Structure 1
Amino acid sequence: MALYEIAAFGNPMSGQLEALQASLQEAAAAFKIPWGTDFKLTIQPEIFQPSQRTSAVVVYFGSPGDSGGDISGLFDPASVTVIPVASTETEVANEVPSALQFINCHLTDRGGNDRLVATVLECLGLLRRQRRIFLSYRRTEAKMAAIQLFDALSARGYEVFLDTHGVARAVDFQEALWHKLCDVDVMIMLETPTYFKSRWTTEEFGRALSKNIGVLRVQWPDLTPSKETQTSSRVELLAEEIDAKGVLCGNALDRICDQLERFRSLSHAVRRLSIMTQLQAAVESISGRVRGVGPHFTMHVELPGNRELNISPVVGVPDSSALHDAARRAGGRHSAVLYDHVGVLPSWNDHLSWLGSNIKGAYWIRSSQAAWDLAGWSQI
C-alpha cells in the first residue's frame, strides 16, 4: 500500500499530464519518498478507492463540453480530495462535471503546472496549506519593489509578511518579526547593493539559514553576488526590469512568483527532512530506534523498554490543530509533536506548554532537547 496516491481523470491537454508526472517525481525525490511504491500516480483507473490509511487526491482535468460527465463509479468526492482543473473561471460550468462544480477549481490561466503540483502536495499533506512568505529588504533601496511583491504574492494566495504591514501596534517589534520568520516557507531577500550593510537584514538572512528556511534571492542588476548568498536560489533582475524609482517592470514580478512556486516545495522538503534527521539522531542516541515513517511524516518510534510512540515533526510554528492531528492519526497510541521552539514568541511557547499539559494523549517535544525529553519519557 502506497503512503501517497494521486489519480488522474478527465481529458488533459497535450503535455499537461506529462508535466504533472515529471514534477511529482521531482517532489518525491526531494522528500526522499520512493516513487512508484510509496508515492504513486495512477492515470485513468477504472475505480479509485484508496485506503483510509493512505493520503490521496484526485486530479480531474476538465475539457469543453464535459459538464455532463459522469464520475459515479470512478471515485467518491465525499471520501477523497478532488482538484478539478479548468481553463478559466468562466469555463468551469462548461468544462467540469456538475458533480464537481461545488469544489474550488485550479484555473490554468491563473497558475500553470507548478501551482497545480503545489496544490496536490498541499492536499497530500506534504506541503502546508498555509503559503507563508517573508520579505527581507532595505527600505532605503527596495521599498517600492517590496510593496509590489506583497501585492503580487497576495494575489497568488500567499500570506506575505512585510514589516510595514505585519506587526501590530504596542508589541515588541523584533520579537514579533522573528516569530513571523519562524513560520514561513520561504524568505525572499531583495539583494540590493547595501543589503548586507544593514544589521537588521543581515540578521534576517542569518536567522533564516539557522532555521533551514529556504532563501530566494532577487538580485539587483549588475550586482556582484556576495559570498554569503552563493548557495541561495536566485532570480537575476535585468536592467530594464527595474526603473530609476525602484519600481519593478516587465516580467519581473511574474518571474519571481514563478520561481517561488517551484522553490517552495524544495525548501519545505529540506526543512522537513532536517527536523526528521534531527529526531532520528536523538532517538538513536538514547538506544531507541525509528521503526518507520507513515503518511504526513509520522515517525513510529520505539524507546528503550519497548515503549512505542508516534511523533509528528512540524515545520514552522505549531498550534492546537497539530496536537489534534497527531492524536487522531495515532489511533489511540501515545503521540507527540516535535517542533523547533527557537525564535517563537515566549507567550506562544507558554501557550503550547499549557495545551500539552491539558490535552491527554498528545505532547510537545522541542527538537533541541528531544533526546533529553525522550530519555525521561514517563507518559508511556
Structure 2
Amino acid sequence: MNNAFEVVLIQILQRGEGIMHFGILVVEGPCSLMASRLQGWFDKQVQEILAPSGETLTIINAGQHKEVERFDRWLCVVNCDGHVDREESSIHGAAIGLAKRTGVPIFPVVSDLTNFGDLAPPYLSTFNGFQHTLGEPLDELGNLLLENMELLPSKRKIFISYARHESRAIALQLQQRLAARWYQAFLDTHTIRPGTNFQETLMQELSDSDLVILLDSPDIKNRPWVLEEIAFADRACLGTLQVVWPGHRRTIGAGFSEPLFLQEYGETPFLNPEALPKDQCLRPKILDDIISLVAHQRASAFRNREARMVDSVVKSVQTLGWNAVKHSGRYLALTKNEKLIPMETVLGLPDALRIQHAVERHHGCHLEKLPLLYDSQAITNAMADHLSFLEEGLGNIALISPQEVSPWIGQI
C-alpha cells in the first residue's frame, strides 16, 4: 500500500470520517406508528452492532426529508395505510420525489397487495409493494431494509434438513412458501442434479446457507446423513429452526436452534393425517408461523455466525500488534501504526457479485490485493478451483480463510 495513502486513511478514521451513517426516511401520516415501530426494531437488531465502529442508523420523517444529505446510505419506506397524501406537491410527495430522483430503494407498504392501486399514491405505481399489517412482526420488512444497506446478506438461502420417508411433502410445502418470500430454499431432491457427489454438495450448500430448518420427525435419530447435517450446523454456528413432531422428543445436537413444537397447535397439525407420513402436509397457519420464525431468527443467526468467524481473526491479529474494528456485515478495519487494511468478510461462498461489491467499496485502497475473509468449511474441490480461477483472473483480490490470516498479515 502507498504510505501516503495509508496516512490519509488513518487520519480519516481518527476524525470519524469514512464511517457509514445509515438513514431511513419514513413517509406516513401524523398518527401512524411505522417510524416508531421501525426505530424500536432497529434499536434491538443493529444499534449495538454498529456502535463499535462509530456507525449509526437514524430514522427520519417526511418533514425532515432534506436531512438525508447527512446520510452515506439511505432508503425510503412509505406507509401507504398511514394517510399518505396522494398529491405530489404535498410534503409527502416532495419526500418521495427526492427518493425517486436520488434513485434510492423505495418500499411502499400496504395492508393488502391485491388492493395496491387504491392504497398507494399514483406516483408509486411503478414500485413493487410490501404487504404488512399493523399487528404483524416487523422482521421481514426490517430484514429487507438491512439487506439494502448491506448489513445483512441479500441471497436469503435456507437449508431444509429432513427425512424423505417421513416429511417429504412438508419439505416441498416449505420450499414453495419460502420462494414466495424471496428465499432460496435448498432441498436435496430438487436442487442437486443427477451425477453430482451428493454428500459433498450437501455440506457445501449447508455451509453457504443463512439458516437451517430441521424437520425433526420421529425417525430422524436413525438417519445418519441428517445427524451429520445437524452436527455440521452446530460446528459452523448456523442458526437452526427445529420443527418438532407431535409426541416426539426433540433431537439433541443443534446448539444454535430454536424449537417449534407442533403439538402446541392442539388439534392435529396435519391437513391429511390419514395419509402416509411422507405425504402428510402442514396446515397453512403453521407454515406461516415457520416463515415468520425464519425471518425473526435470520438476522441474529447471521450475527452469531459472523462473530464466530470474525472474533477468532480479531484475536489472532491482535497478537501481532494490529487493532481491529468490525463493520458488521461488510469488513474488518485492521490498523497498526500508519497502516490500514480493510479485510472484507464473507459468510458462505464469496460469489462474483459479493466480490464486486467488496472491490467497489474499497476502490481507493492501494493494496495490491484486497483481502476477502471467507469460511472455507466444506467447500468442494470444484468450488475451490472456481474460487482460485476468480482470484487469479481478477488479480486484485486475495481469498483468505481464517486459518490463513496470521501468515498473510505477517507479510504486510
Equivalent position of 1:169 in the other structure: 194
Q: Pick 1 or 2: higher relative contact order, CA cutoff 8 A, min separation 6.
A: 2
Q: Distance in 2 between matches of 1:12 and 1:336?
A: 47
Matched, 1:280 2:280: no
Q: Comparing 182-191 with 363-372, which one deviates more in the overlay?
A: 363-372
Change (3 A) 1:354 1:4: same
The 5 Å alignment of 1:114-125 reads 114-125=139-150
Equivalent position of 2:74 in the other structure: 56
1:50-106, CA deviations, whole angstroms, 9 ceiling, x for partnerless residues?
Answer: 458723222111146744344335633234222121232343333333333322221
Deviation at 1:194, TM superposition (A): 2.1
Matched, 1:232 2:257: yes
Change (3 A) 1:368 1:236: same
**Alignment partner of 1:142 out of 127, 150, 167:** 167
**Alignment partner of 1:364 out of 399, 402, 408:** 399
Equivalent position of 2:115 in the other structure: 91
The 5 Å alignment of 1:269-308 reads 269-290=303-324, 292-294=325-327, 296-303=329-336, 306-308=338-340
Change (3 A) 1:181 1:198: same
Deviation at 1:363, TM superposition (A): 2.2
Matched, 1:321 2:340: no
Residues 275 and 367, structure 1, Cα contact 8 Å, conserved in 2: yes
Q: Distance in 1 between matches of 2:255 and 2:187?
A: 24
Q: Mind listing any 5+ residue stretches in structure 1 that lack a counterpart? A: none
Q: Distance in 1 between matches of 2:66 and 2:326?
A: 24
Matched, 1:155 2:180: yes
Q: Distance in 2 between matches of 1:276 and 1:54?
A: 25
Matched, 1:186 2:186: no
The 5 Å alignment of 1:43-82 reads 43-48=61-66, 50=68, 54-63=72-81, 66-70=85-89, 71-72=93-94, 75-77=98-100, 78-82=102-106
Q: Distance in 2 between matches of 1:182 and 1:169?
A: 21
- For 1:196, what is the secondary structure of its paired residue? helix
Q: Distance in 2 between matches of 1:201 and 1:347?
A: 24
Q: Distance in 2 between matches of 1:150 and 1:374?
A: 42
Amino acid at match of 2:129: C
1:105-157, CA deviations, whole angstroms, 9 ceiling, x for partnerless residues?
Answer: 21226986222111111111111221111110111221122122122222222
Q: Distance in 2 between matches of 1:355 and 1:5?
A: 34
**Alignment partner of 1:102 out of 126, 148, 154:** 126
Q: Distance in 2 between matches of 1:83 and 1:265?
A: 20
Deviation at 1:17, TM superposition (A): 3.6
Deviation at 1:12, TM superposition (A): 8.1
1:203-230, CA deviations, whole angstroms, 9 ceiling, x for partnerless residues?
Answer: 0111111222111100111222244246
Equivalent position of 2:289 in the other structure: 255
Measured on the aligned residues, the alpha-carbon RMSD in Å equals 2.8
Equivalent position of 2:10 in the other structure: none
Deviation at 1:296, TM superposition (A): 4.8
Change (3 A) 1:141 1:73: closer
Deviation at 1:35, TM superposition (A): 12
1:169-213, CA deviations, whole angstroms, 9 ceiling, x for partnerless residues?
Answer: 221111211121111111000111221221100001111112221
Change (3 A) 1:55 1:116: same
Q: TM-score, normalised by structure 1?
A: 0.88
- For 1:40, what is the secondary structure of its paired residue? strand
1:309-359, CA deviations, whole angstroms, 9 ceiling, x for partnerless residues?
Answer: 111101111112222211211132133211011112222222222222232
Q: Comparing 222-231 with 84-93, which one deviates more in the overlay?
A: 222-231
- For 1:254, what is the secondary structure of its paired residue? helix
Q: Mind listing any 5+ residue stretches in structure 2 that lack a counterpart? A: 1-18
Residues 86 and 122, structure 2, Cα contact 8 Å, conserved in 1: yes
Residues 214 and 242, structure 2, Cα contact 8 Å, conserved in 1: yes
Residues 340 and 366, structure 1, Cα contact 8 Å, conserved in 2: yes
Query: How many corresponding residue pairs?
Result: 375
Change (3 A) 1:229 1:314: closer
Q: TM-score, normalised by structure 2?
A: 0.82
Q: Distance in 1 between matches of 2:131 and 2:231?
A: 37
Q: Comparing 201-210 with 357-366, which one deviates more in the overlay?
A: 357-366
Q: Distance in 2 between matches of 1:23 and 1:374?
A: 38
Residues 213 and 242, structure 2, Cα contact 8 Å, conserved in 1: yes
Equivalent position of 1:128 in the other structure: 153
Change (3 A) 1:258 1:149: same
Residues 311 and 338, structure 1, Cα contact 8 Å, conserved in 2: yes
Change (3 A) 1:197 1:323: same
- For 1:103, what is the secondary structure of its paired residue? coil
Q: Distance in 2 between matches of 1:227 and 1:108?
A: 35
